[in-house]
Every structure is written in structure tokens, then in C-alpha cells.
Amino acid sequence: MKKPVVAITMGDPSGVGPEIIAKSLADPAIHEACRPLVLGDAAAMKRALVVTGSRLGLELVAEVPSRSNCRENVIFLRSLSDLSIADMEFGRPSKAAGDAMYRYICEAVRLCLAGKVEAIATAPICKEALNDAGHQYPGHTELLAELTGTGDFVMMLAGERLRVALVTIHEALADVPRLITREKIVSTVRIVHRGLDRYFKKNPRIAVLALNPHCGEGGLFGAEEKDIIAPAVDAARGEGIDAIGPLSADTLFHFAAKGEYDAVVCMYHDQGLIPLKLLHFDDGVNITLGLPIIRTSVDHGTAYNLAGTGKASERSMSAAILTAARMARIKEGFKF
């Protein structure tokens, strides 16, 4: 029985990342689906096991553990930092932790590109700490794109009832109209189509949202639908993609949640994430499409207010690991 290795990055040790990892890896379903390897900090992981009351053991490793060494009652950890308690005080970002979380991500990408692990699942990072440490990225997605040399990528958030993909990601709302070009929309739809077709649903049906209320109301509220979005949808359809749009966001999600569409392409961050988190606040998964590697993540932040309490839900972390494992089995042709 061959199982994919999923590298799990700890994220910000000052947040809930270590705790939700500890709670997730207590689930036998995770170990049935993959061989998990945590990349992070030993002290942070030991603290998380205490905070969560976990009975799991912790084993420090220098490389990817072999199948014969994997055990359900043990967390295998590659410790890539040596943070002090002051460096990872619960709920407080620090420059040292920011640099550490950057190193966890870099090593996970290196292992994945080298074929030593089959997928990556990431716990939440603090963008403020990341940037304070000198790593200037607006988020995980953009860092992963640079590390893998990827120019075109898409952030897709997914749950059982809804999948949303973003044309623009971490951008000021005022900048969105000038950033949604025909080429960018076509590229987004194309990447979403390829990702869904390969991993989730053959010949997916993709809804493309309007930017303005009521699809611009015939130009009264804006011309982006007529000048940019509709031509982009036509171009995607010309490539054989089952894309429909532009569609009005205030009604579309009702039908998408009922299963009439396999994904919704949204023009900006909150247009997609508000309905996604309404339906999948605890179990949503962030999937980066277009990378040469498989990467999933939780769909929430560091939850500093819950750090150290052991109360943070692990459902999104568990879903991210299981989704990464499922995608890896499809990509690699692993059989059970």
C-alpha cells in the first residue's frame, strides 16, 4: 500500500497552526490517506501537544520517514527553527517567527519539487511577521508562485457545496477594476478548468461573475461586463471550456451552492470568500491551482485570539491534508 507523503508547514508558531496540526494528526483517517511530515519548530510542536492534551508522540527526523517507520501515534517533525518562548508568544507576531515560517514554506517547496514529498498542506501564516522579517509577499500564494517559477496561478477555495476562484487576490478594492483584464480572466478560467478537470470533475461547468451590481445594468453601473468580462467568457468558450457569464453575484451563489456549477470565478477577494466562508467556515480548503506542485491550505488565518487555548477547530486543516492527499493520489496514480 503506497501512500503519498504530505509535507505540512506549521505556519506561524505564535498562532493556532501547531495546535490544529496536532489535533488533525490524531485522526486515523489522515494516516490512512497519507504519510504526514510536519515542517516547523520542535518547541512549538511540543507546546501544542500539551495545550491540546494530545497523546501523540513527537519524533524529530532529518529526512522524509520511510513507510516502515510511519506510525499513527507519532508526529514526524523536521525542526527547521529553534525559537525561544519570546519569539513565539501566543497571539503576538514576531520577526523571528516570520523568518521561521518563511523557511518552513521554502523547504516544503524544495522537497516537493525534488519529488521527496507529493504535496504540501500549509497552516496559516502572519503576513505582517513575514514582511517584518524581510520577506515581502502579500500572502502564501504569491510566495509559492515565486518559489516555483509560476507566472499564472489561481487561488481556489473549496468545500463540499461551493468552490470559488479569484481573478484578483490580495488587492485593494479600488485597484480591482483596472486589474481585471480580458487576458487575466481567460487565464483564470483556463487554469480553473484544467485543475477541476484533472482532480475533481471532468468537463466542469464554470460560472463567471460580473464586477458590478446587476451585471452593470446595461452600462448604467459600469462597462466592465460588456467590454471585458463577456469577451473573456466568449474566448474561454472558444477553447472548449464550459464557461457561463457574466452572471450577477447577488443571485448566482444560490444556484452554485445547489450544485448547478462546479466552480465560480470571482473578480475580487471578498466577492468569493464571503459566500464560501458562510457555507464552509470550518471546513473550507484553499487550493493553489496552476503550480507545478500540489498545495492546499486552511482557509483561515492565525486566529491569535485562540492561540494557546487548544480550542481552535482543526476541520479546515484536516480537510486541507486530506484534499492534498487525494490530489496526490490522482496525480501520481497511487492505488489503495
Reported as a single tens digit per residue, the pLDDT across 257-281 is 999 999 999 999 999 999 999 999 8
Check if 1-150+291-336 and 152-290 are the same fold. Answer: yes
- Give the start-to-end residue ranges of the domains of the chain: 1-150+291-336, 152-290
Q: What is the 3-state secondary structure (H, E, C) of the chain?
A: CCCCEEEEECCCCCCCHHHHHHHHCCCHHHHHHCEEEEEEEHHHHHHHHHHCCCCCEEEECCCCCCHHHCCCCEEEEEEEECCCCHHHCCCCCCHHHHHHHHHHHHHHHHHHHCCCCCEEEECCCCHHHHHHCCCCCCCHHHHHHHHCCCCCCEEEEECCCCEEEECCCCCCHHHHHHHCCHHHHHHHHHHHHHHHHHHCCCCCEEEEECCCHHHHHHHCCCCHHHHHHHHHHHHHHHCCCEEEEEECHHHHHHHHHCCCCCEEEECCHHHHHHHHHHHHCCCCEEEEECCCCCEEEECCCCCHHHCCCCCCCCHHHHHHHHHHHHHHHHHHCCCC
d(CA 245, CA 264): 10
Q: Give per-residue pLDDT as tens, 139-198.
A: 888 899 999 999 999 999 999 999 999 999 889 999 999 999 999 999 999 999 999 999
**Cα-Cα-Cα-Cα dihedral sign, residues 33, 38, 44, 47:** positive
All three cell numbers of 151, joined, read 507566472
In single-letter form, the type of residue at position 213 comes to P
Q: How far is CA 226 from CA 66, 181, 218, in A?
A: 56, 12, 8
Angle at 198 between CA 194 and CA 204, to 5 degrees: 65
Other Cβ atoms within 10 Å of 266 Cβ, number: 28
For residue 336, the model assigns a pLDDT of 41
- What number is the average pLDDT over the span 24-28? 96
Contact between 13 and 40 under an 8 Å Cβ cutoff? The reply is yes
Please classify residue 143 by burial: count the beta carbons closer than 10 Å to its beta carbon, then call 0-12 exposed, 13-18 middle and 19+ buried: buried
d(CA 313, CA 65): 27
Q: Which fold has domain 152-290?
A: Isopropylmalate Dehydrogenase (3.40.718)
d(CA 46, CA 48): 5
- What number is the average pLDDT over the span 114-135? 95
Q: Which of 31-35, 103-107, 169-173, 305-309 has the lowest mean pLDDT?
A: 169-173
For residue 278, the model assigns a pLDDT of 94
Is 90 exceeded by the pLDDT of residue 215?
Answer: no
Share of the chain above pLDDT 70, in %: 97
Is 90 exceeded by the pLDDT of residue 80?
Answer: yes
Residues 6+ positions from 311 with CB-CB distance below 8 Å: none
Angle at 18 between CA 115 and CA 89, to 5 degrees: 130
d(CA 84, CA 82): 7
CATH class of 1-150+291-336: alpha beta
Is 50 exceeded by the pLDDT of residue 30?
Answer: yes
Contact between 236 and 243 under an 8 Å Cβ cutoff? The reply is yes
Is 70 exceeded by the pLDDT of residue 68?
Answer: no
